[in-house]
Chains A and B, each alone.
Chain A
Amino acid sequence: GENVEQHPSTLSVQEGDSAVIKCTYSDSASNYFPWYKQELGKGPQLIIDIRSNVGEKKDQRIAVTLNKTAKHFSLHITETQPEDSAVYFCAASMWGSQGNLIFGKGTKLSVKP
């Protein structure tokens, strides 16, 4: 079955710097890679996702890149702000198939003002 590894487990940056979180997956059949943000005391919320037919997707200050050959994908946050502080989870699945979303263990991002 699918296995998703996420690094680092914690990340601290200064406000305005960039943050990068990386994930690797094991099942080459996976084709859907979402990223979730979980603020303190709340449930995870989707912030961006990418499908395997594209290599990069951007939404304002966040972007996700996918390397299918190496089986890894990354979340990039530019110009970080204190409100970006949260736990971020990556996940992988075969969209529409019998496979559930498999989550990484999460990265706690702290943005220092």
Chain B
Amino acid sequence: NAGVTQTPKFRVLKTGQSMTLLCAQDMNHEYMYWYRQDPGMGLRLIHYSVGEGTTAKGEVPDGYNVSRLKKQNFLLGLESAAPSQTSVYFCASSYNFGSEQFFGPGTRLTVL
């Protein structure tokens, strides 16, 4: 099992560009999450999904959109990137709310 995988690993964008980060899990988990990690800020939840076709806002959702068209995939989109979105993005999945979350390796995004 690959667990949770993220694509791409690194990306540099110019202000105003758009991009999509892909997360995939092979553990048949219902719940999936997108976090951002900034120095000294810990892990902050952007959006999450409780099942295929569902999404919900987390702590810092502004500027991001998500989709969960397939159970195994969770996409994070930036429509118009801003320098404040420079961060490391982690995807995670779990089989239940509040249970152990399995994290992907992260995507380092730089917005110039």
Contact = CB atoms under 8 A, between A and B. Distances in A.
A103 B43 CA distance: 6
Interface in B55-112: 58, 90, 92, 96-106
Given A41-B106, A42-B106, 10 more contacts: A6-B42, A34-B100, A43-B92, A46-B100, A46-B102, A89-B43, A94-B97, A95-B97, A97-B97, A105-B40
Query: For this complex, into which size category does the number of interface residues on chain A fall?
Result: 20 to 34
Contacts, number: 59
A100 B96 contact: no
B106 A96 contact: no
Interface residues of B, number: 22
Contacts of A98: 97
B99 A32 contact: yes
Given A43-B90, A89-B42, A101 B103 contact: no
A100 B100 contact: no
A37 B54 CA distance: 29
Contacts of B4: 43
B42 A103 contact: yes
Nearest to A44: B103
Interface string A43-56: 11110010000000
Nearest to B48: A100
